[in-house]
Amino acid sequence: MIIFPAIDIKDGKCVRLVKGDFNKMTSYQNSPFDQAKIYFQSGFRNIHIVDLDGALEGKLTNSSTVKEILKNLNLKIQIGGGIRTIEDIDNWIKSGVDKVILGTAAVENIDLLKAACEKFQNKIAVSLDVKNGFISLSGWKKQTNILAIDFVKKIENFGVSRIIYTDINKDGTKKGPNLKDTVELSTKVKIPFIISGGISSIEDIKKIKSLNNSNIEGVIVGKSIYDGDIKINELAKQI
């Protein structure tokens, strides 16, 4: 199972949100590069990065910051936020990212998702931010009436490399992930799932590892690292 430490970037800084609320945002002292370096030196090789400015504005905003990380650290980065076109995806692939995450664009433009999966095989991940079973878009500002299960079924044969499933009600709360809904959804399709949102302790990580669910590919850990609830060296032992 892959453990993805997270870096969310807003205004060039590492931040974390609570339930996607930008009014409940905490900024942290380390720069995104410094944080990535800590992860790298601790033994992590997979990093999850979200450009929150990009997610809000619908365009690539913090790309220079991410490219600095790519250039200087040997990391496999999955990147999301503000990626809306084939050109955006192409730019990131050429920059050396491992996976490009489509969220809002995938749901609003399913033809784009299909074309991207065909052109960039095994490089496209889909981020589903879900609240009470329904997908939210645009940095969680826009609630849809699209059920996550319906959308996942629709894209099952596109060639999506992984689905990053975030339970908004859990994200940033450190109250434990929504394993029940995530695991249940993961068993209904063949696309690997990444669990995101609410990870609060090493015990949560161990619980996910013990599921023995071949369709759960990994887990994203964010706020608990920044706040010190999970120590980097302890998390590294779970790699």
pLDDT per position as a tens digit, 58-108: 777 788 999 999 999 999 999 998 899 999 999 999 999 999 999 889 999
Rg (CA), the chain: 16
Please answer whether residues 16 and 222 qualify as being in contact, where contact means their C-beta atoms are separated by less than 8 angstroms: yes
Distance between CA atoms of 239 and 235, rounded to whole angstroms? 7
Burial label, 190 (beta-carbon count in 10 A; 0-12, 13-18, 19+): exposed
Residues with catalytic function: 8, 129
Mean of pLDDT over the chain: 91
User: How many C-beta neighbours within 10 Å does residue 178 have?
Assistant: 21
CATH assignment of the domain containing 150:
3.20.20.70
Ramachandran sector of residue 132 (left: φ over 0; alpha: ψ -120 to 50; beta: rest): left
In the beta sheet, which residues pair with residue 108?
A: none
Confidence of residue 139 (pLDDT cuts 50, 70, 90): low
Residue 4 gets which letter from DSSP? Answer: E
pLDDT of amino acid 169: 80
Per the CB < 8 A criterion, the answer to whether 34 and 12 are in contact is no
- Residues 97 and 108 sit within 8 Å (Cβ to Cβ): no
Chain Cα centroid distance, residue 52: 11
| Mean pLDDT, rounded, for 149-173 | 91
Beta bridge partners of 21: 18
Domain that holds residue 149: 2-236
Residue 116's pLDDT is 98
Phi and psi for 51 in degrees, rounded to 5?
-90, 95
In tens, the pLDDT along 140-155 reads 678 899 999 999 999 9
- For the whole model, what pTM was predicted? 0.92
Q: Report the pLDDT value the prediction gives residue 19, as an integer from 0 to 100.
A: 66
Distances (CA, A) of 52 to 9, 134, 156, 201, 229: 6, 21, 27, 25, 23
**pLDDT for res 82:** 86
One-letter identity of residue 136: S
> What does the alpha-carbon distance between residue 146 and residue 66 come to, in Å, rounded to a whole number?
31
The domain tally of the chain equals 1
β-strand partners of 196: 166
